[in-house]
C-alpha cells in the first residue's frame, strides 16, 4: 500500500513539474504570437520614422520570415544535441536582443538586423515548445497538450493588434519591441528552476550541411518572395549540393530519410499544404471583404476575428480528439473543413452573414491542420532522439507554404479577372489532395494491423 502511495506521489510530482515546464515554454509562444500581431499596426510609424518607401517597410516582415525559416531546422537539430531547455533559453535570449536592436536602431538597416536576430530566436521557441510537449507527454495525452500551443498562439495573435494600438496611442513605436525584454527576462528566470533529462546526440557537427541548408532556404524563400526564376535555379543548385553533402555526413543536419520514406515525406507535404491554405486565406480575407462585400478597411480587418477565434478553439478541440479517436481522423476532418470553406469562399459568399459563417468553418479547419495532428503523426514515424529535428522540418515546410501561398495569390490577383475564385479553388484542390493523402495513411494502417 505504501509502495502504491509512493508511486502515485512521484507521478503527481512529475506531472506538476511537467505542467510548470510546459507553461514556461508556452509563455514564449505567447510572446512570439503577441509580437507577430503587434508589429503590423506600427508599420506606418516605422516607415515614417526611417523616412523610407512603403516597399522597403514590408522588408520588416520579409526579413523576419526568411531568418525564421532558416532558424527552425537548425534550432530543432541542435535541441537534439544540446537539449531543448538550452535551445529554448538561447531562443528567448536572441529574441530579446533582437527586440532591443530593433527598438534602438538609428537606421533601417540596423532595424532589419534586429528583426533578423528576433526571427532566429523565434526559431528556438515555436518548434522547440512543440518538441518538448511531444517528447514529455505520453501518447494518450500528447494531443491535448499540443493543442494548448494553438490556443496560446491564438490569444496572442488576437491581443497583438489591440496591444499594438494601445502602445501607439500612448507611447512611441519603439515600445512595441522594448516590451519583449522584461517578458524575456522573466521567462529566463523561471527557466532556471526547470530540470530536464534528455538523451542527447553526440556526433560531429555537420558544419557544411548547416551552411548549405542556410543558403538553400534563404535562396528558395527569397526566390518565392521576389518571384525570381534566377534565384529559383540557384536555390535548386544549393539543394543538390546539400543532398550530396548530407549523404556523406555522420550526423546530417538534414535527415534525407525524411524525404525518402513515404510516411515522413507525406507528412512534410501535408505541412506545406497546410501553410499554403492558412496564409493564402488569412492574408486575402481583408481584401476579399473590401472588394467583394464592400466593407471598409477597419471592418474587413475586424472581420478576420471569427477565423482567429474558431482556429483557437479548434486547436484545443482537435488536440483532445487526437487523444480520443486518433490523429489521422482528426486531420482528415480538418482538411474537410478547409475544403468546405475554400469552395464557399470561391463560389458562394456574396454577403456578410455567409462570410462570417464560412470563415468560422475555415478557421476551424485551419486550427486543426496546423495544430496537434501532424506533430503527433510525425512523432510516431521518428525516434525520440530526432524529435526536435523532425518537428523543426515540419515547421519549415509549413513556413515555406506560408510564403508560397500569398505569393501565388498575389500573382493571380493581377492575372485573372475573377481573382478570388481561382485563388480559393486552389486551396480547395490542395485540401482534396491532402484528404486523399491522409486517407491513404488510414488505409495503410488498417492493412498493416490485419
72-130 pLDDT, tens per residue? 888 888 887 788 888 999 999 999 999 999 999 999 889 999 999 998 998 888 888 88
Same domain, 281 and 159: no
The answer to whether 416 and 422 have CB atoms below 8 angstroms apart is: yes
The arithmetic mean of pLDDT across residues 421-447, rounded, is 80
Same domain, 122 and 10: yes
**What is the predicted pLDDT for the residue at 164?**
77
Distance of CA 63 to the CA centre of its chain: 16
**What is the predicted pLDDT for the residue at 447?**
46
What's 417's DSSP letter?
Answer: T
Residue 227's domain spans which residues? 207-252
Same domain, 36 and 175: yes
For the domain that residue 61 is a member of, what is the CATH number?
Answer: 1.20.1250.20
pTM of the model as a whole: 0.82
Is the predicted pLDDT of residue 5 greater than 60, yes or no?
Answer: no
Distance of CA 316 to the CA centre of its chain: 16
Same domain, 151 and 217: no
In a domain? residue 202: no
Same domain, 287 and 140: no
- pLDDT tens digits, 146-170: 888 888 887 887 777 777 777 877 8
- pLDDT tens digits, 230-269: 888 998 898 889 888 888 887 788 888 888 888 889 999 9
- pLDDT tens digits, 296-335: 766 666 667 788 888 888 888 888 888 888 888 999 999 9
- Closest CA relative to residue 137, chosen from 398, 359, 384: 384
In a domain? residue 82: yes
The arithmetic mean of pLDDT across residues 378-394, rounded, is 81
- Crossing angle of helices 262-291 and 327-347, rounded to 10°: 30
3-state secondary structure of 107: coil
Average pLDDT along the chain: 82
- pLDDT tens digits, 165-195: 778 778 888 888 898 999 899 999 988 877 7
The arithmetic mean of pLDDT across residues 22-29, rounded, is 87
Same domain, 230 and 258: no
Same domain, 184 and 295: no
The answer to whether 421 and 409 have CB atoms below 8 angstroms apart is: no
Same domain, 87 and 102: yes
**What is the predicted pLDDT for the residue at 13?**
62
Number of Cβ within a 10 Å radius of residue 380: 11
**What is the predicted pLDDT for the residue at 89?**
92
How many folded domains does the chain comprise? 3
**What is the predicted pLDDT for the residue at 12?**
62
Is the predicted pLDDT of residue 134 greater than 50, yes or no?
Answer: yes
* Four-point Cα dihedral 268, 270, 276, 279, nearest 10: -90
**What is the predicted pLDDT for the residue at 290?**
77
**What is the predicted pLDDT for the residue at 450?**
45
The arithmetic mean of pLDDT across residues 363-388, rounded, is 84
The residue to which cell 497538450 is assigned: 145
**What is the predicted pLDDT for the residue at 449?**
44
Among 47-61, 65-79, 418-432, the minimum mean pLDDT is found in: 47-61
Same domain, 150 and 225: no
Q: How far is it, in rounded angstroms, from Cα 339 to Cα 333?
A: 10
**What is the predicted pLDDT for the residue at 165?**
76
- Closest CA relative to residue 133, chosen from 150, 119, 120: 150
In a domain? residue 450: no
Same domain, 212 and 258: no
Amino acid at each position: 500500500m505504501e509502495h502504491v502511495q509512493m508511486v502515485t506521489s512521484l507521478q503527481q510530482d512529475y506531472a506538476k513539474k511537467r505542467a510548470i515546464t510546459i507553461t514556461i515554454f508556452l509563455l514564449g509562444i505567447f510572446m512570439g504570437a503577441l509580437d507577430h500581431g503587434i508589429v503590423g499596426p506600427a508599420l506606418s510609424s516605422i516607415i515614417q520614422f526611417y523616412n523610407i518607401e512603403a516597399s522597403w517597410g514590408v522588408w520588416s516582415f520579409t526579413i523576419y520570415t526568411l531568418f525564421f525559416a532558416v532558424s527552425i531546422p537548425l534550432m530543432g537539430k541542435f535541441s537534439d544535441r544540446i537539449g531543448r531547455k538550452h535551445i529554448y533559453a538561447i531562443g528567448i535570449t536572441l529574441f530579446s536582443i533582437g527586440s532591443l536592436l530593433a527598438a534602438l536602431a538609428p537606421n533601417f538597416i540596423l532595424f532589419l538586423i534586429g528583426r533578423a536576430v528576433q526571427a532566429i530566436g523565434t526559431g528556438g521557441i515555436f518548434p522547440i515548445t512543440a518538441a518538448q510537449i511531444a517528447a514529455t507527454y505520453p501518447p494518450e495525452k500528447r494531443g491535448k497538450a499540443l493543442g494548448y500551443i494553438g490556443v496560446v498562439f491564438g490569444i496572442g495573435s488576437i491581443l497583438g493588434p489591440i496591444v499594438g494600438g494601445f502602445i501607439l496611442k500612448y507611447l512611441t513605436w519603439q515600445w512595441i519591441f522594448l516590451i519583449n525584454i522584461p517578458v524575456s527576462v522573466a521567462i529566463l528566470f523561471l527557466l532556471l528552476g526547470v530540470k530536464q533529462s534528455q538523451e542527447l546526440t553526440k556526433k560531429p557537427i555537420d558544419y557544411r550541411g548547416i551552411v548549405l541548408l542556410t543558403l538553400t532556404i534563404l535562396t528558395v524563400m527569397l526566390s518565392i518572395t521576389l518571384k525570381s526564376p534566377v534565384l529559383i535555379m540557384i536555390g535548386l543548385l544549393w539543394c543538390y549540393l546539400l543532398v550530396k553533402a548530407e549523404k556523406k555526413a555522420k550526423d546530417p543536419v538534414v535527415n534525407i530519410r525524411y524525404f525518402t520514406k513515404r510516411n515522413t515525406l507525406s507528412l512534410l507535404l501535408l505541412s506545406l499544404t497546410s501553410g499554403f491554405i492558412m496564409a493564402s486565406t488569412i492574408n486575402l480575407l481583408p481584401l476579399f471583404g473590401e472588394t467583394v462585400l464592400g466593407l471598409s478597411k477597419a471592418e474587413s480587418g475586424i472581420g478576420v476575428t471569427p477565423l482567429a477565434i474558431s482556429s483557437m478553439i479548434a486547436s484545443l478541440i482537435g488536440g483532445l480528439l487526437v487523444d480520443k479517436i486518433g490523429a489521422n481522423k482528426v486531420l482528415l476532418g480538418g482538411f474537410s473543413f478547409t475544403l468546405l470553406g475554400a469552395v464557399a469562399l470561391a463560389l458562394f459568399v456574396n454577403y456578410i452573414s455567409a462570410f462570417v459563417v464560412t470563415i468560422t468553418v475555415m478557421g476551424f479547419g485551419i486550427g486543426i491542420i496546423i495544430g496537434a495532428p501532424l506533430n503527433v503523426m510525425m512523432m510516431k514515424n521518428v525516434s525520440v532522439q530526432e524529435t526536435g529535428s523532425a518537428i523543426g522540418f515540419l515547421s519549415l515546410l509549413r513556413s515555406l507554404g506560408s510564403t508560397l501561398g500569398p505569393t501565388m495569390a498575389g500573382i493571380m490577383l493581377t492575372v485573372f479577372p475573377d481573382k478570388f475564385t481561382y485563388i480559393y479553388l486552389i486551396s480547395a484542390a490542395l485540401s482534396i489532395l491532402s484528404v486523399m493523402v491522409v486517407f491513404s495513411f488510414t488505409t495503410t494502417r488498417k492493412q498493416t494491423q490485419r
